[in-house]
Amino acid sequence: MTNFLLIFLSIIVVVFMATVLFGAPFVPTHQKQLKKLVKCLKLSKNDVLVDLGSGDGRVLNTFAPKINRAIGYEINPFLVFLSKIRCFKNKNISIKMTDFRLEKLPQDTTIIYIFYADTFKKSVLKLIKNHKKSLIVISYGFQFEELGAGKRKHGFWIYKT
C-alpha cells in the first residue's frame, strides 16, 4: 500500500515538473482579480470562452454563468480530473485533456484566456490568426505587443483582434 502511494505521488510530481519544464507550470489566477475582471467585461450569452491551459478550472467556473460555453484545454491529467470535479455543476463547461497547440479554436469562440509566459506566444498567435472571427484575448500578467496596445484591467491585458 505504501509503495503504491509512493509511486502514485511520484507520478504526480513528475507530471507537474514536466509542465514546468515545458514552460507553463500550474499557477492559478488570483480568484479575486478574476471576479473583478468578469464584472467589468461586457459578457453575453453569445460568448464562448476557451482557456488555453485551464488548470484547476477556476477561470471556466467564474466565466461560465455569464456566457454560453466555457472550454478548457489542459495538458496535465491530474488537473483535468480535479477541474472536472470542480466544474461538475456548470453544465456549459467542457474540459479536454490535450496540448492546446494541437487544437483549433471552436468556430464560435469569442474569448480566449491565457496565463503563461512568452514560451507559447507563437502558438497562441497562430491560433488567433487561424480563427476567422474577431476575438477578445485576455492575458493574465503577460503582454501581447503583437496584438496592439490593449487595455490593462485588474492585472489582465485585454486585446481585441
Ligand X SMILES: C[S@@+](CC[C@H](N)C(=O)[O-])C[C@H]1O[C@@H](n2cnc3c(N)ncnc32)[C@H](O)[C@@H]1O
Q: What is the DSSP letter of 30?
A: P
78-107 positions binding ligand X, by CB under 6 A: 79, 99-101
Q: x-or-dash pattern for ligand X, window 1-30, by CB under 6 A?
A: ------------------x--x-x-xxxx-
CB-wise, 47 or 149, nearer to ligand X?
A: 47
Burial of 151 (0-12, 13-18, 19+ CB in 10 A): exposed
Q: Which is nearer to ligand X, 7 or 27 (CB)?
A: 27
Establish if 63 lies at the interface with ligand X (CB under 6 A): no
Candidates 43, 64, 67, 74; binder of ligand X (CB under 6 A) is: 74
Burial 13-46, CB ≥16 within 10 A → b, else e: eeeeeebeeeebebeebeeeebeebbeebebeee
Q: What does the block give as the cell for 35?
A: 471576479
Provide the binding-site residues for ligand X, judged by CB under 6 A. Answer: 19, 22, 24, 26-29, 51, 53-55, 58-59, 73-76, 79, 99-101, 115-116, 140
